[in-house]
Structure 1
Amino acid sequence: MSTNNKSISRESLLGMMQAYKTTSLLRTGVTMGVFDCLAEGPIDAETVAGRLGSDVRGMRILLNALAAVGLAVEDGGRFALPEHGERLLVSKSPEYLGDMVRVMASDWEWDALKKLHDAVRHGGTVMEVHAETPGYEYWEDFASYAVAVARPTAAVVADALEPWAAGRESLDVLDVACGHGMYGLTLAQRNPQAQVWALDWPNVLPLTEQHAERMGVRERVHRLPGDMFEVPLGGPYDVVLVTNVLHHFSAERAGELLTRLAPAVKPDGKIVLVGFTLDAPPAEDPAPHLFSILMLTWTFEGEVHTVQDYTHMLDRAGFVDGRRYDVPGLAFRVLVADKAQG
């Protein structure tokens, strides 16, 4: 039995109890536009309040609290961004990460986590509206704001497929539960012969198309609205992308989806899976285990699966030679497998 030297302390426990306050500060700074104002700093609270239409006292308290947690720098009653703040917190920056609070700190997630104790007792979501509800509005925010995290992962997918994709006369892509569409759209950007079929709920696909327009590939993107377990898939496709969705289901249910998708893949085609995986003890790799908690509160049977689970799913669905790719700086894994011959 392995042991580790990690311990808890009074300070660490109290910090955990107050972590939501730091999240609230970050979310408020982003949604109010405070960090964009501070990019013009050093600036005082009265000026920030005037520009944002806020009460001066309220803004002063907020700015001091932002400085207290390292999200701003205070000097003599004037405030500015911390180091790297202009790169990560200012909306005009190409590396802007602030809008991810609308996904990772959304009211939908907070409301679900308030019922974590009920979900633990029940073994799944107790929410009336949740991640498996058709037309769930959260997915619109996800499609709008999760691009900052999806973009580097989509680049890893495109890099992994590049030699194979570049040699094909056509590249028909099915992007399942596409959301923002970054995975399929990045393939289309890099491969002028690519056509993308974007599968998701009807309320999400207009946002996918907005990203496609910005990326210059709108004319090569086609809607496929509906439930991925039920909608006619069309095809066959050179590559099928299944990204950040299999953790919404049990391993059995996720395997059923892959089996459903398999006939839509060309005999020499590929399937790509993207998501968290369980590869290490919880203390060594916390992110997937924390994400499983969200799935517990938000789905009926969802949780993060192991690479071995995915390998078994792929094998049962008729895919072989799976290769794993890591995403630098993120906890996501990319798995690429070939359609089995014969």
Structure 2
Amino acid sequence: MRRELSLAEIFQLGYYWETKILLTAVRLDVFSALGGKESSVAEVAQSIGADQRALGLLLNALVAMKVLVKTGDRFANTDVAKTHLVRSSQSYVGHLLLLHDAEWNNWGKLDETVRTGRSPVTRHVFETDPELGANVLSVLDRIGQQSGPGLAKRLELAGAKTLLDLGGGAGTNAIAFCTHYPQLRAVVFDLPQTLKVAERAVKEAGLEGRITLHAGDFNADSLGGPYDVVLMSDILHYQGPEANAALVKKCFAHLTAGGRLIIKDRFLDEAGTGPAWVTAFAVHIMVNTEKGRCYT
């Protein structure tokens, strides 16, 4: 039998304080100001242009949250903060947290969305802030590089010669697949601003001769081909059922005889109550996209 939440746990779920403390620290670049050294409140305040008293409260809270450590009156990053929250680190994920912060106001309108069934946004933050979008794509690319090789191996594409990576972002999957399957050539299809990130990634991988970048709107423009494999990765949840049905039909029309359409997304179970993270993600998508949803 599943254990019910205690009252204390319900209160904990209702507290957003720690979330906003962390996001604010990332936005103020507190962790980069600390870097690999110990600093006083005054030193950090001078570095980021903050009020000492207010910053001191924020830093103390971050210590209690186990993101910083404090020795006497001096603060320092924990190892995990130093690795992932300092901008100069190769493993910096702050841009992804800044995306969450940029979407904060939309979450404040969740009650309105639930009452009306309509999202408060008409344009994704990637459209309104292209620089943030490019930075987030770079972080997602780095994270995806950890899972891409395993995905390529599981899909068994040894017989395929051509792949369309639809909405391919930074080209993470195309790079992983072409690296694993030397006979494969790929097309990454995405918006022009997104392909600027993909261009750098493909060049760094040394795959310019096997991966082509195609700029366009996959709902409106020709997809080229035909292809032995079409990969739709994390597209469905950004669109409504009608657009997705039309896109899936379009993808099938661009396959070779016996070709494969592979769909990778965040799916709910039949009851709609799991996996737990996806149920919350479904609400996130409802609030932050015009017509998106998670599907079963």
TM range (shorter): 0.7 to 0.9
- 1:48 aligns to what SS in structure 2? helix
- Cα shift at 1:39: 4.3
Cα contact 1:139–1:179 (8 A) shared by 2: no
Q: Does 1:143 align with 2:137?
A: yes
- Cα shift at 1:120: 1.7
Cα deviation code 1:207-230 (max 9, x no counterpart): 221222333334543332222111
One-letter amino acid matched to 1:47: E
Cα contact 2:26–2:98 (8 A) shared by 1: no
Alignment TM-score, normalising by the size of structure 1:
0.74
Q: Does 1:15 align with 2:17?
A: no
Cα deviation code 1:249-303 (max 9, x no counterpart): 3445323211110121222432222221113766663211111112222334422
One-letter amino acid matched to 1:293: V
Change (3 A) 1:42 1:142: closer
Q: Does 1:228 align with 2:218?
A: yes
Q: 5+ unaligned residues in a row in structure 2: which ranges?
A: none
Identity %: 25
- Cα shift at 1:244: 0.9
- 1:101 aligns to what SS in structure 2? helix
Q: 5+ unaligned residues in a row in structure 1: which ranges?
A: 307-342
Q: Counterpart in 2 of 1:5?
A: 3
- 2:26 aligns to what SS in structure 1? helix
Equivalence map 1:52-67=2 (5 Å) = 52-67=48-63
One-letter amino acid matched to 2:30: V
For residues 192 and 44 of structure 1, what CA distance do their matches in structure 2 show? Answer: 54
Q: Does 1:292 align with 2:275?
A: no
Cα contact 1:102–1:141 (8 A) shared by 2: no
Alignment TM-score, normalising by the size of structure 2:
0.84
Q: Counterpart in 2 of 1:337?
A: none
Cα contact 1:142–1:180 (8 A) shared by 2: no
Equivalence map 1:107-256=2 (5 Å) = 107=102, 109-130=103-124, 137=130, 139-161=133-155, 163-165=156-158, 171-256=161-246
For residues 119 and 84 of structure 1, what CA distance do their matches in structure 2 show? Answer: 36
- 1:208 aligns to what SS in structure 2? helix
Q: Does 1:68 align with 2:64?
A: yes
Change (3 A) 1:152 1:125: same
For residues 134 and 27 of structure 1, what CA distance do their matches in structure 2 show? Answer: 21
- 2:259 aligns to what SS in structure 1? strand
